[in-house]
Structure 1
Amino acid sequence: MTDAPPTGYACIQAYLKTLDGSPGVYRMLDEKQAVLYVGKARNLKARVSSYSRPSPQHSPRIARMISETRSMMFLTTKTETEALLLEQNLIKQLKPRYNVLLRDDKSFPNILVTGDHAYPMIRKHRGAKTTKGSYYGPFASAGAVNRTLNQLQKVFLLRNCTDAVFDGRTRPCLLYQIKRCSGPCVGHISEADYRQSVKDAEDFLQGRTTKVQSTLAAEMSKASEAMEFERAAALRDRIRALTHVQGTQGINPQGVTEADVIALHMDGGQACVQVFFIRANQNWGNRDYYPRTGSGAGAAEVLAAFIGQFYDNKEPPRQLLLSDELEEQDLMEDALAQKAGRRVQILVPQRGEKKDLVAGALRNARESLARKMSETATQGRLLDGLAEAFGLESRPERIEVYDNSHIQGSDAVGAMIVAGADGFLKSQYRKFNIKGDDLTPGDDFGMMKEVLTRRFKRLLKEDPDREKGMWPDLLLIDGGAGQVSAVRSIMTEMGIEDIEMVGVAKGVDRDAGKEEFYRTGQRPFALRHNDPVLYFVQRMRDEAHRFAIGTHRAKRAKSMSKNPLDEIAGVGATRKRALLAHFGSAKAVGRAGLEDLKAVDGINAGLAQKVYDHFHGQ
């Protein structure tokens, strides 16, 4: 009979003789080899030793973590800064139960002023900065960017159309008519004057608003003296628009040029982190986050983990203004400076304008968390009511709702929305381009079968043990007994028979409020007209329908704007225009003979052959 492997303190003690004083990262694993916790250490042996015996300094959270530990893994690094960066990467990748984890970590949009055209365009940009030009940001949300772009259009009259649209215009668009663009596409403004407008816009984005206003005022005075009253009036309108922009931006700090203001509020084991973006002395929006607190971490640990993970894929600003002190502030500064390639200063301001900024962010964090907790409590009651109404064994923590959208089978898409204790989880929504070539147009069951098969095959591959929280507890299906039976058979084919499902069908009059609900092996039933659970189900079904229709419209718009000429290598915007101008349409280009194609200006014999071969399947 073999001895059972050591657990808890004894397990950890067994690793001490293999460790030295190197910096590095350690992982604690449970009996299934799932990662419980990832930590970093300046001295691995000393840090692991602190877990090897009971201590009054261990919180209940740490004591539980130690008791569940069955093995450990270690990675040594050259420096503690390198260990910190590796620790945050592993936490985001592995999502250990006892670590603080930042959720909903999306990238932020920027404003891009392109640099590869005589008349630069200004537009929203998200993702890698591969396009040539100047980037300004980050902004807290797409809404904040759109508001700023709208203001810039009013004041500086810059174009936002693509280069292809710009090159193909023969008369100005509606934006010119409503005084949101200066019409560079048709020569209504010289290249030099347009470049000056671009420079003024960039000065504004860099915070030099006083200089922009004085420049515009001088130009207006000069135009008035030259009796160019129409130009003077246009400049006056731009100055008024700029003044309005400055008056509606909210708090624009005078003494803070570039900083992120980060404030943490905790209550009842939950946390809210509020982030304000200050760039060029302007408030570019704010956003709240609700990190998972790792079963009871303290404020300093939550804030440090948030900052480390938040800037894992973002460039940190020159200053961070925090509501709480960090335990290893110098180490965090070194790690952020290494990412940014320059100094990053972390401050907990005690007075003045910076203190006021942090106080404002902290107030927002407190109010946001109170709202979140109230909404979560309400949502919890709805989920409990849902479990009772549908006879479920327990409250569903994750509900998935599916819908399809198409027009007579064309541009078909499937959509999945997710709801849970935190309401609609939009980051978990998924869309499915229907790929089945053998489907009959309009075959909703065939589409649903493809969507569910793809969804659950992926789950079976990526999370077979159902430990990552991505498996649903309940499926809501649009339809009656036939649809529920069909979905049940699909799931049975994949060996999944333990997920609850409910069919939602409109009543005989197809009226909202008269829905009937179907479960396998039970008679259909309805809820009373004013039941909150009924409204909750209607909201989920309507949200799935909205998401499916929006996805379908986007796909259809893309397919409608697609031109067969775009698929031919070597046919750029200029040659495409030449072909369309010569033949009138892409369809006519496809019917043209080889000699006709060679006759088009700018189309040589080789390219004509390539175009001909493309349309004739060669």
Structure 2
Amino acid sequence: MIQDGPSIATGHEVIQAYLKTLDGSPGVYRMLNAASEVLYVGKARNLRNRVSNYSRITGHSARIQRMITETASMMFLTTRTETEALLLEQNLIKQLKPRYNVLLRDDKSFPYIVIPTDHPFPMIRKHRGKRSEKGHYFGPFASAGAVNRTLNQLQRVFLLRNCTDSMFSGRTRPCLQYQIKRCAGPCVDKISAGDYATLVADAKRFLEGKTTAVQANLAAEMASASDALEFERAAALRDRIKALTQVQSAQGINPRGVSEADVIALHLENGQACVQLFFIRANQSWGNRDFYPRIPAGAEESEILEAFITQFYDDKEPPPLLLLSHAVDNEDLVSQALAERAGRKVEVVVPQRGEKAELVENAARNARESLARKMSESATQNKLLAGLAEAFDLDAPPKRIEVYDNSHIQGTNAVGGMIVAGADGFLKSQYRKFNIKSAAGANSDDFGMMKEVLTRRFERLLKEDPERKSDAWPDLLLIDGGAGQVSAVAEIMAELGVEDIAMVGVAKGVDRDHGKEEFHRTGQRPFALRMNDPVLYFVQRLRDEAHRWAIGAHRAKRAKAVSATPLDDIPGVGAARKRALLAHFGSAKAVSRAAIPDLMAVGGISEPLAQKISDFFNAKN
């Protein structure tokens, strides 16, 4: 049920008018201003009682009082239970980003380790995203670095391969990984399927925290080999035990009494917050990540933590235990909502003593130190933005800077890149890359490529936000180039009707050296900054980051083109069937020569699809 009311005024009177239309149902409410912008999204066990609280003239904090004063209308959506209301509230907050709500801004996916089950000699590798592949998943890990370190350790101890299936099937002699004792060499029959399966089982036990059993088994095998006078095998097992011991000693925080939990600590200071999250899995610390949610003035620890937990686990499976630094207001409700998502009990605890309390204190210390660094970096960044405004004669320090660059090799695989920076530094979640579609790329026309990129960027902005209400509009454009590029970009912006955004071209200057950059603006003479000016270094970092991003996008596109095969153009042959065909036949050329019965011998290739593949290649001959 959605209701809209009159907006003849703002404040308590408007809210009071809704009371006669509400009952005691649970649900979600939205408070909107005169421009119909959502100010706040909240949940309620009893909508009438909650709205009645807002209708009172006194007894509110300064933040709530400001919000009430701005409220011109409200919207309501009833739910069956308060738990449903909590989940809906957090979905709406993430979608609408209201000004008076706590908002988790950094909500990236986390990497896992996967051991597939569809290969007799499975590889072990990093995985991010949807779990569409059959296999055993372990995680989450806080970062790609934490996964890579663990994979490196697993290769040293358990000798599992990390090559692709196609590379595995094409080997005729051992690779370097086998030579340096990082792989058992299953590709060239250096180990049997049964012995390799034992290694995989040991790796799984290690990732499940059963390291003592793994070490005991290795020790028993080493003693047995020694008794049998198989000294070379015994030495290899000794090296694996030594590597496992080094791994265990380097693990850092390894709680004995906590097998699986997330440790969440909050530090709040001067209106800014840092949430530190540690992942404990299999009695091991699998890394930590810090978050800096957007918080409204006057928000308290309990409100911030509740919002963080419900938003963070909106699309992630929670562990059985959450260890918190502060209590949340609706602990039972939060626990119930998480349990519904996980399909099992989830306990939310604020430990007071013992090992769990030490884990929380460690996370709180990290949150405190991370926020101090962040505040220091923000102060420096604000000074640089103010200096940039002074150097380029801007009306105010820019809140959003967009930097553009192109990358190609003689017109091939042309890509345009855009990076974004602001008071919080580089905003990597808002970086964009543009595959050049026009003839400008093939003709190595840098002006044409820049025109295509900016036209696509600002046509979309004008379509999605013509009134410029969002923060997606830049205050400053930095273009890699001199007077010619600036003049071309100015024409593009004039054609689009967007001429009020400051724009500066950054040219290499004399001898194309760092420190001798020239800056170009429309209708003005070029100028340079002092060699040791911090603003110059700041612009160099922005330009270099845009260059790095564009080159990375170009290389990725080029690598994809290199690995492309005719199989990509056959309808019905996706990535999995392409891998299966290449693994079976060794190359696309061999696939093109295969008979229909041979094609059908590959898993997933039916007779109609085999006929389609054969017809595709025969039509090309």
Structure 1 residues 580 and 118, CA, compared in 2 at 3 Å: closer, same or farther? closer
1:410 and 1:441 in contact (8 A); partners too = no
The separation in 2 between residues aligned to 1:201 and 1:115, in whole angstroms, is 14
Task: Check if 1:23 corresponds to 2:26.
Answer: yes
Q: Report the AA paired with residue 258 of structure 2.
A: V
Aligned to 1:43: 46
How far apart are 1:561 and its partner, in Å?
A: 1.5
Aligned to 2:300: 298
Match of 1:146 among 145, 148, 153: 148
Q: Report the AA paired with residue 503 of structure 2.
A: M
Q: Which moved more, 1:164-173 or 1:596-605?
A: 596-605
The separation in 2 between residues aligned to 1:579 and 1:327, in whole angstroms, is 61
Match of 2:485 among 470, 483, 486: 483
How far apart are 1:141 and its partner, in Å?
A: 0.6
Structure 2: gaps of 5 or more residues: 1-5, 602-606
1:114 and 1:132 in contact (8 A); partners too = yes
2:30 and 2:41 in contact (8 A); partners too = yes
Structure 1 residues 609 and 352, CA, compared in 2 at 3 Å: closer, same or farther? closer
How far apart are 1:464 and its partner, in Å?
A: 2.5
How far apart are 1:166 and its partner, in Å?
A: 1.7
Structure 1 residues 129 and 457, CA, compared in 2 at 3 Å: closer, same or farther? same
Aligned to 1:351: 353
How far apart are 1:461 and its partner, in Å?
A: 2.3
2:480 and 2:507 in contact (8 A); partners too = yes
Spell out, residue by residue over 1:156-202, the C-alpha distance to the aligned partner (whole angstroms, 9 max, x if none). 01112222222222222221111111111111111111011001000
* Aligned 1:348-497 pairs, distance under 5 A: 348-437=350-439, 439-497=441-499
- The DSSP-based 3-state class of the residue aligned with 1:103 is coil
Aligned to 1:131: 133
The separation in 2 between residues aligned to 1:580 and 1:94, in whole angstroms, is 50
- The DSSP-based 3-state class of the residue aligned with 1:50 is helix
How far apart are 1:53 and its partner, in Å?
A: 2.4
* Aligned 1:49-448 pairs, distance under 5 A: 49-56=52-59, 58-437=60-439, 439-448=441-450
Structure 1 residues 134 and 440, CA, compared in 2 at 3 Å: closer, same or farther? closer
How far apart are 1:614 and its partner, in Å?
A: 4.5
The separation in 2 between residues aligned to 1:163 and 1:178, in whole angstroms, is 21
TM-score by length of 1: 0.94
Aligned to 1:5: 8
Q: Which moved more, 1:202-211 or 1:155-164?
A: 155-164
The separation in 2 between residues aligned to 1:513 and 1:85, in whole angstroms, is 53
Q: Which moved more, 1:206-215 or 1:418-427?
A: 418-427
Once superposed, which parts of structure 1, at least 4 consecutive aligned residues long, lie more than 6 Å away?
A: 577-581, 603-606
The separation in 1 between residues aligned to 2:598 and 2:290, in whole angstroms, is 57
Spell out, residue by residue over 1:533-558, the C-alpha distance to the aligned partner (whole angstroms, 9 max, x if none). 00000010011111111111111111
The separation in 1 between residues aligned to 2:469 and 2:22, in whole angstroms, is 31
The separation in 2 between residues aligned to 1:61 and 1:500, in whole angstroms, is 34
1:579 and 1:600 in contact (8 A); partners too = no
Q: Report the AA paired with residue 199 of structure 1.
A: A
The separation in 2 between residues aligned to 1:393 and 1:614, in whole angstroms, is 63
Spell out, residue by residue over 1:46-78, the C-alpha distance to the aligned partner (whole angstroms, 9 max, x if none). 10111112223x111111111111111000000
Structure 1: gaps of 5 or more residues: 591-595
Structure 1 residues 611 and 296, CA, compared in 2 at 3 Å: closer, same or farther? farther
Spell out, residue by residue over 1:253-284, the C-alpha distance to the aligned partner (whole angstroms, 9 max, x if none). 00001110000001110000000000111000
Aligned to 2:3: none
The separation in 2 between residues aligned to 1:579 and 1:285, in whole angstroms, is 41
Q: CA RMSD in A?
A: 2.1
Structure 1 residues 574 and 91, CA, compared in 2 at 3 Å: closer, same or farther? closer
The separation in 2 between residues aligned to 1:380 and 1:88, in whole angstroms, is 31
Spell out, residue by residue over 1:213-262, the C-alpha distance to the aligned partner (whole angstroms, 9 max, x if none). 00000001111111111111111110000000000010100000111000
How far apart are 1:589 and its partner, in Å?
A: 8.1
How far apart are 1:573 and its partner, in Å?
A: 5.0
The separation in 1 between residues aligned to 2:202 and 2:591, in whole angstroms, is 44
How far apart are 1:128 and its partner, in Å?
A: 1.2
1:597 and 1:603 in contact (8 A); partners too = no
- The DSSP-based 3-state class of the residue aligned with 2:510 is coil
The separation in 2 between residues aligned to 1:154 and 1:310, in whole angstroms, is 34
Q: Report the AA paired with residue 420 of structure 1.
A: G
Aligned to 2:536: 534
- The DSSP-based 3-state class of the residue aligned with 1:274 is strand
How far apart are 1:611 and its partner, in Å?
A: 3.9
How far apart are 1:576 and its partner, in Å?
A: 4.5
Q: Report the AA paired with residue 47 of structure 2.
A: L
Q: Report the AA paired with residue 39 of structure 2.
A: L
Aligned to 1:511: 513
The separation in 2 between residues aligned to 1:19 and 1:136, in whole angstroms, is 47
The separation in 2 between residues aligned to 1:451 and 1:442, in whole angstroms, is 14
Q: Report the AA paired with residue 567 of structure 1.
A: D
2:412 and 2:442 in contact (8 A); partners too = no
Q: Which moved more, 1:458-467 or 1:23-32?
A: 458-467
Q: Report the AA paired with residue 545 of structure 2.
A: E
- The DSSP-based 3-state class of the residue aligned with 2:28 is strand
Spell out, residue by residue over 1:366-406, the C-alpha distance to the aligned partner (whole angstroms, 9 max, x if none). 00000000000000000000000000001101101011111
Spell out, residue by residue over 1:107-152, the C-alpha distance to the aligned partner (whole angstroms, 9 max, x if none). 1111111111111221111111111011111100111011000100
Q: Which moved more, 1:190-199 or 1:112-121?
A: 112-121
TM-score by length of 2: 0.94
Number of residues paired by the alignment? Answer: 606
The separation in 2 between residues aligned to 1:601 and 1:117, in whole angstroms, is 20
- The DSSP-based 3-state class of the residue aligned with 2:296 is coil
Q: Report the AA paired with residue 11 of structure 2.
A: G
Q: Report the AA paired with residue 46 of structure 2.
A: N
- The DSSP-based 3-state class of the residue aligned with 1:509 is helix
The separation in 2 between residues aligned to 1:501 and 1:10, in whole angstroms, is 47
Q: Report the AA paired with residue 356 of structure 1.
A: E
- The DSSP-based 3-state class of the residue aligned with 2:332 is helix
Aligned to 1:502: 504
Q: Which moved more, 1:162-171 or 1:409-418?
A: 162-171
The separation in 2 between residues aligned to 1:124 and 1:41, in whole angstroms, is 41
How far apart are 1:575 and its partner, in Å?
A: 5.0
The separation in 2 between residues aligned to 1:575 and 1:121, in whole angstroms, is 18
Q: What percentage of aligned pairs have identical amino acids?
A: 69
